[in-house]
Each structure stands twice: as structure tokens, then as C-alpha cells.
Amino acid sequence: MEIIFIQILAFAAVFLLVVGLRAAFLPNAAGTQGKPALFSAFEREVMWMGNFVHPFLHNANPAKTARMQQQLICGNVHLEVKEIRGMQCLACLVGALTGGAMIFLATLQVGWTALAVVILGGVGWVYPASWLAGTSQRRQDIMSGALPFAIDLLTVAMEAGQDFTAALRHLVSEGLQGALCDEFNVMLRQMELGKNRLDALKAMSQRVQLPEFQTLVSSVVQSTEMGSSIAATLKIQAEEIRRSRFHKAERQAARAPSLMLLPMAIFILPAVFIIIFTPVFIRVQESGMGHFFGN
């Protein structure tokens, strides 16, 4: 009974540790430059470990470093790549030590403790990078969903007689909210500081990394070079983006049955077999024929 109680406490401790780490990775408005709370709390340790391991990891895989840098920009995360690397080291160390100590206290077995150290250390190393990728992807999905509506508002404003800058200012101030509005606001500020429209659009395309927005920028560049109406180009692109999102949703829906096979085989079918065959097995045992299965 005491061992079961210790195991329950160990499970609860690991569960609360995971929940606490997830909450600590949320952005902290009061933190340093909007950093997540965990990065602000262990800023010195993270920077020290990041400065130590980042040169080796960058030389080993420069493409991974470039991808993480792009994810930081897309996700609007106020961190550097070496800080992510430092947090990977810190989370790996803490996860390995904490998990190993808890499993050793619960089981008193060296083998399970070593396995817990390897698994939780690996989880601690992978989680900061996966958190960054997830944050970037979620922000891109939000911007992708709001893009057709934003283009429609720009088109209506330009067809009403406003130029592109005035329509963009109206969109930022009154017509849109969220991550896409922040990016359009940055583009508007760049244009007000002297950058031309095409360069500002290309810079925004580099930040958001949305294929549909890159297509939009290419269409606007071509229409500007050819002297055609930008409002008409925006209207066509809004329809194309909606059509593309509809086809993407259809593809995801078509993949759903195949993705459900593995959970059904692992979780649902064993439960169904237990429900079906357990009464049969009990009746066989009660009828005195259980010794045939024992042999």
C-alpha cells in the first residue's frame, strides 16, 4: 500500500512538473521584453548555457539554426536562438535529474531510474524547440485565416477611392485585430518611414512566411509593373486564398479516417475485445472447462 501511494505521488509530481513547464512557457507581459516567464526567471543560466552550446550546435547544423531563427520571427517570440538552445540544456538537465530522482524513490530500481533519466532528459531537450515550432505554426494559422478578410477590406477601401497607404492605415486602426494586424502595422510604419510599398510587402512576406501571402506579393508586383489595378488583383487573390484554404480543409478531412486507425487499434479494439470475451471466459471457468485452457 505504501509503494502504491509513493507511485501515485511520483506520478502527480511529474504531471504537475509538466503542467508547470507548459504554463511557464506562456508569454509574460511583465517579463523582460515580453519573454516567457521561464526564460525571464532563469535568464542568466539560459544565457550561460546558450553561449556555451550554441556555437557547437550551429556548426553541426546551420540549417536548423536558420529554421529556428525564422520560427522566432514568424512566432513573434522575443528571444534569440542561443536562448532556445540554453533552455534546451537546462530543461534536459532538470528533467533528467528530477525524473530520475522521482522514479528511483518510487521503484528503488536502477534500471527504471536510468530509463526515466534518458526519456525525461530527451523530452526536456526536445520540448523548447517543439514549443517554438508550435508557437510559430499557430500564429501562421491565425494570420492565414484572417488574410482573406483583410484583403477584402483593403479592396473595398481602395475601390472607395483611398490609396494603398490610406486603406492600410484604415485596416490597422479600425478593421482588423490580432497577429496579422500587428504585421500590417509594422509594414505601415516602414512605409511611413520612407520604404516603398513593394519593399514593405516583401519584408512582411519574409516575416510571416505564408505561401499565400508570398503569392499575393508576387501578384501585386506584377500588377504594379504592368500598370493594372491593384484593387482588382487583391480581390482575385482573396478568392484564390479562400479556395486554397477550402481545398486544404478537404485534404485534412480526407486524412482523418487513416489517422483514426492507430488510436482505434490501440485503445478501442482492446476494450471491445475485453467486453466481448470476458463474460465468455467467466462462463467457461464456471462450467469446469477452464483446465483445458490451462493446459
Q: What does the pLDDT look like over 64-89, one tens digit per residue?
A: 888 888 888 888 888 888 888 888 88
State pLDDT tens for residues 189-245.
Answer: 888 888 888 888 888 888 888 888 888 888 877 777 777 777 777 788 788 888 887
For the chain, the first-to-last Cα distance in angstroms comes to: 34
User: Is residue 172 within 8 Å of residue 181, measured between CB atoms?
Assistant: yes
Q: How much is the pLDDT for 289? A: 61
Same domain, 6 and 135: yes
Under DSSP, is residue 136 helix (H, G, I), strand (E, B) or coil?
A: helix
Confidence band for 33, pLDDT divided at 50, 70 and 90: very low
Question: Average per-residue pLDDT in the chain?
Answer: 78
State pLDDT tens for residues 131-140.
Answer: 888 888 888 8
What is the torsional sign of CA 178, 179, 182, 187? negative
**157 within domain boundaries:** yes
User: Is residue 157 within 8 Å of residue 170, measured between CB atoms?
Assistant: yes
State pLDDT tens for residues 138-192.
Answer: 888 888 888 888 888 888 888 877 777 888 888 888 767 788 888 888 888 888 8
* 119, pLDDT greater than 80: yes
Same domain, 136 and 52: yes
**208 within domain boundaries:** yes
Compute the distance between CA of residue 127 and CA of residue 139 in angstroms, rounded to an integer: 18
User: Is residue 90 within 8 Å of residue 42, measured between CB atoms?
Assistant: yes
Half-sphere exposure of 171 (CA within 13 A, CB side): 30
Same domain, 28 and 68: yes
Last residue of some domain: 223, 245, 267?
A: 245
Same domain, 60 and 173: no
**257 within domain boundaries:** no
Q: What 8-state DSSP symbol labels residue 264?
A: I
Q: What 8-state DSSP symbol labels residue 215?
A: H
Total number of domains constituting the chain: 2
Same domain, 15 and 118: yes
Q: How much is the pLDDT for 19? A: 60
Please state the pTM of the whole predicted model. Answer: 0.69
Last residue of some domain: 85, 115, 140?
A: 140
Last residue of some domain: 205, 221, 245?
A: 245
Q: What is the CATH number of the domain that holds 187?
A: 1.20.81
The whole domain housing 101 covers 2-140
Q: What is the largest CA-CA distance in the chain?
A: 92
Same domain, 120 and 205: no
